[in-house]
Structure 1
């Protein structure tokens, strides 16, 4: 080996890497090892020696790079190319049938199929490949921005660092820890006098958030791929075609089964309720998806979830406990929420000592009393809830609960609006509401004001330095520096963070206002349709309801928000403070393709697929993968394929690459 020159070493290294990749694929993906562990170790040691001898030949996708790199100081933020939406849930056969009926109402197509997959209880991740090599891995985060966990994901042996297809790919998968590996890690932690992990999911998430990737490498994590978001070269007609391709490329894809109709889907779901314990990893349900990718595009999504997929959740785990007390908490909208304080019980891998009781009607319907023995359940991440009272265990000492007539925080009279189940504090200046509203306003997805957390907000309210979130912008450094844990430097950092937040994007400001039912997705939709807060305030309920993704509930909530004089005063003071309450001119210019859907097909000469996608989305449009009746433009390159014919049949406007460039130039000029 010492006599090798660089050229011979390069060939030897390439051969060793190929053998190791094949061995890893057979062992970690196919579960069909062809060589012994000793033979595998020998191949790896030979490769390490050669790479040490010729360090300039080390590449990021070499198998030796799985062992863990340098310790990071922090995780970088990664913006997702496509928002990671949540799935709607179903809990029984009837809700699955309702899902199928909603699909039928939204399409004329009758012969669609479903694909059913395991809903793995792990950590969702985005994976990107460049030129066939693993380039980046990121957490789901808030659905729009995640954290860069590339170094930790390299340690996952079932994730190929190099694939056959030299292309740009973006995938989604679920990182998980097997039950057997979870037991091994916890046993080791207990032996080292460390706290055991609560469940495999927590262990997987904790492993991926280690700044030292060597720790992640020691935990033998696995990954199953469940979706292909984009491919720079290829196009697919169905989800099953995607899975077939991914398997060819060496990926370990999620278990899946085709179903001809919803009744077959229900049978599969019921079958796996019985079989779930046979797996060596945790699943908390199944995911049901439309197989046809063009139909998915046609069905689209709401602000929160795709219309073409749904999660079927297995029946929740249940245990008995005793209600020690019932407490009331207040949210930012003034809602009084009763919560059961329980005797601690181990449930679904975690200790449960509180459970939501939802509202007064729920307590009366279930006849829940303080002192009752109750059945508690928790499914996945769902907050624990009381299922029913075990009345046979009552001894007469139990006390009935009465909803308070006055707010437990401010003492104001509470009110339950007619037709609503929720009792609310009517005092808009209630300290509990004020704190929650301010916390929402400064949160990461809203104005993202670093350093302004619960402890500081408590002090600001206590010292009467602020009454609401608008007051933050009138604080001076001298107001802060004498507060607890706030010296010269900390107070300067906070005031600078507040000042920097004045230029947040318009949709974040809408979200930060705290309008009931308006989440981040709905706020983005509103900012795409209204260029200023004045325009949004002037919108009628009917006009709002006509916007895709804005229904009557959100529309009424917006109208009611602006009807309140205090809210209008808040906005006036935000404007006075210099907050960005409209889309900037640059944003207006970038939105010139708003609402338009583009499909690209064939080989483009001047752009990569990721480049055209960025161009379209930065201009407010959408780059989608399949042609449907809702497509506005098909852009064709060389050898366009079947999408060209389908676009012609549907009468979709077809652009050449040069015409697409001209469209961008013309729109920008306008």
Structure 2
């Protein structure tokens, strides 16, 4: 053990750690040239958190640990922009760009200038204020004149430096786009589907919704990014391309920006990215063209709506006109009804498009769709085609407005629409065929009961044969029943292996069993928190809504969903049947604490360890007094990290300040080698 630090030593070490972490953030987010692995970065953050906990009065406002807060006020304060955040006029061709240049020449016939071009990010525009290098306020664009103060949420966005590198101006405004990578968007929607929540339509929609969340710790989990494109302040260079370089040196990631060039060079940049934009990890919808000379911009001035010295060239997504022939409705695992446009087949982006998602009835109403209808469809960024608009001038006189279904298309149950949600869902989750099969798929999935070999095709066949309608039915299946189901492609030994896999799943721990039940809004993390708060199912069955809602980050909506599920007599009977077949409905804790250097500390292991079995590593931890956790929670003391560890789990641990250990670190804690 190291001797305790004095206050002076702690202050010095805190300053060193903050400087080091900020440097690594700059190299990762701005230069894309990280110098250290994530595990080393995590150790620096963990050390900083520990020092700040021991010396809270030394915690600096620009500390990286201060990115994530908690709940904020229900209303975001409104802030008037010091300079309006104007929109831009649009151009759609080279000729329109030449017309833009001609207008400028008429305004200042004797002036000469060059342009810079920047990728136009399809995100959410924000304005950031810095005083003496310290981030003090972040505001949405709003109506251009005033926006919402979302400072607490923007502090969580990686790429927004809390303190600028090097020498900073006394007063600086930086504008840019908050965005979400497509990969993070897909992961977020998969998680929402898992929780029974409707998906976001696109990354921009997801970004806007994330920035308005009332809990900044939840915003931090959305993996938002920031790219700067503008700055204002006394003492900035007169050439805007140099301002972009200053922003990079201060620690901002900056949108792709050209050096100064003429209009022909700008057009070459536009054409290049028209071909390559799908290779970017995020969506763009065009290129912004700006006069590079900032004093000259002031001379050109602005209209009430847009600056005269800039224009946005907008890319046109590939579109096609076709007929909307019908609307069908799909029922998902959680009962949400998704309308699907059935189209006359049309070629688009190299494929034949026959169907397009309409997301929910609000989208149908926004597009004012009728049947039959002539519509425009496009593919832009995402693989799934979408209906962009109707062509009412081509609408036949017999066309009628589309009326949303009031009953489930699969089982006929009246549909519900929760207050504040745009989606409608079927509440008959116990008997609606797509929901039953979807819930069975979820129950056997890898992150739930992990019953290998039971895919959608086999489950559907078992359902149609009447062999499986509930989770507990799975545990009563016999080899003879599986053979008699005559499932296509079934190997000779498959029935026996399936029965063995089903029975082996009885050892799956309690948190994963809770997750497997498919309770609406209960994903992996919520299931872990419920299990920690209510270590047995009996405790959870008796817990009132208020007690469930009091569990950190769960809240009223999830608590009511859990309570409604547990109050249902059929669900209670099913839980009783699952208990009877031997599923785990209690946290497994050691009967008495084992003494040792790790006594009372909670550990979790992630990744792989060549030459070492995971169960042997867990046994080593427990033999030295450590407790092995059922999942990643804020209560964890250490996360032991091996090769190929999941980035999501590491990011969560980093956000929660959980120290990451290598095997060598673990051996240093115990003072003994790990048997191999």
TM-score, normalising length: structure 2: 0.50
Among candidates 186, 203, 207, match of residue 206 of structure 2: 203
Partner of 1:353 in structure 2?
A: 364
Following superposition of structure 1 onto structure 2, how do residues 268-283 of structure 1 map, counting pairs within 5 Å?
268-283=269-284
Select 1:172's aligned residue among 167, 171, 175.
175
Query: Within 2, Cα distance between the matches of 1:369 and 1:79?
Result: 42
How far is the alpha carbon of 1:31 from its aligned partner? Answer: 1.7
CA contact (8 A) 1:225 1:252 kept: yes
Q: How far apart are residue 207 of structure 1 and its match?
A: 1.1
SS of match in other structure, 2:138: strand
Change (3 A) 1:347 1:130: farther
* Contact 1:319/1:347, CA 8 A, preserved across alignment: no
State the Cα distance separating 1:59 from its structure 2 match. 2.0
The alpha-carbon distance between structure 1 residues 102 and 45, as it changes in their structure 2 partners (threshold 3 A), is: same
| 1:314-333 mapped onto 2 (5 Å cutoff) | 314-320=315-321, 322=323
Pair 1:192–1:319, CA change in 2 (3 A): farther
Aligned to 1:121: 122
Aligned partners of 1:378 and 1:385 also within 8 Å: no
1:192 equivalent in alignment to 2:203: no
Query: Distance in 2 between the 1:73 and 1:371 partners?
Result: 44
The alpha-carbon distance between structure 1 residues 12 and 46, as it changes in their structure 2 partners (threshold 3 A), is: same
SS at match of 1:353: helix
Q: Name the structure 1 match of 2:242.
A: 241
- What's the counterpart of residue 12 of structure 1? 13
Q: Distance in 1 between matches of 2:67 and 2:256?
A: 25
* 1:262, distance to aligned residue in structure 2 (A): 1.8
Structure 1's 157 and 369: CA in aligned 2 closer, same or farther, altered over 3 A?
closer
- What do the CA deviations read for 1:43-80 (whole angstroms, capped 9, x no partner)? 11110011011111112210001123443332111111
State the secondary structure of the residue aligned to 2:258: strand
Deviation at 1:261, TM superposition (A): 2.0
* Residue 224 (str. 1) matches residue 232 (str. 2): no
Report how far residue 16 of structure 1 moved: 0.6
- Matched residue pairs, number? 367
Indicate how the Cα distance of structure 1 residues 291 and 205 shifts in structure 2: closer, same or farther if over 3 A, else same.
Answer: same
CA distance in 1: counterparts of 2:360 and 2:91, whole angstroms: 23
In 1, distance between residues paired with 2:391 and 2:107? Answer: 35
Deviation at residue 310 of structure 1 after TM alignment: 0.5
Q: Is the 8 A contact 1:376 1:386 kept in 2?
A: no
| Residues 1:41 and 1:371: Cα distance change in structure 2 (over 3 Å) | closer
Question: Which is further off, 39-48 or 261-270?
Answer: 261-270
Partner of 2:299: 298
Look up the match of 1:89.
90
Is the CA contact (8 Å cut-off) linking 2:342 and 2:356 kept in structure 1?
A: no
Residues 260 and 292, structure 2, Cα contact 8 Å, conserved in 1: no
Shift of 1:388: 10
- Measure how far apart 1:12 and its partner are: 0.8
The DSSP-based 3-state class of the residue aligned with 2:233 is strand
Equivalent residue, structure 1, for 2:450: none
Residues of 2 paired with 1:370 and 1:52: CA distance? 63
Q: Is the 8 A contact 2:180 2:224 kept in 1?
A: yes
Q: Secondary structure at the match of 1:295?
A: helix
Cα contact 2:69–2:217 (8 A) shared by 1? yes
Q: TM-score, normalised by structure 1?
A: 0.51
More divergent stretch after superposition (69-78 vs 38-47): 69-78
Q: What SS class does the counterpart of residue 75 from structure 1 fall into?
A: coil
Unpaired runs of at least 5, structure 2: 327-340, 344-354, 400-676
Q: CA deviation at 1:259?
A: 5.0
User: Is the Cα contact below 8 Å between 2:153 and 2:216 reproduced in 1?
Assistant: yes
Q: Quick check: 1:182–1:203 contact (8 Å CA) kept in 2? A: yes
Structure 1 contact 153–208 (Cα < 8 Å) conserved: yes
Give the CA deviation at 1:235: 3.2
Is contact 2:374–2:391 with CA below 8 Å preserved after alignment? no
**1:319 Cα deviation from its structure 2 partner:** 4.8
By how many angstroms is 1:379 displaced? 8.6
Q: Does 1:106 align with 2:127?
A: no
Question: Any unmatched runs of 5+ in structure 1?
Answer: 326-341, 358-367, 391-396, 402-670
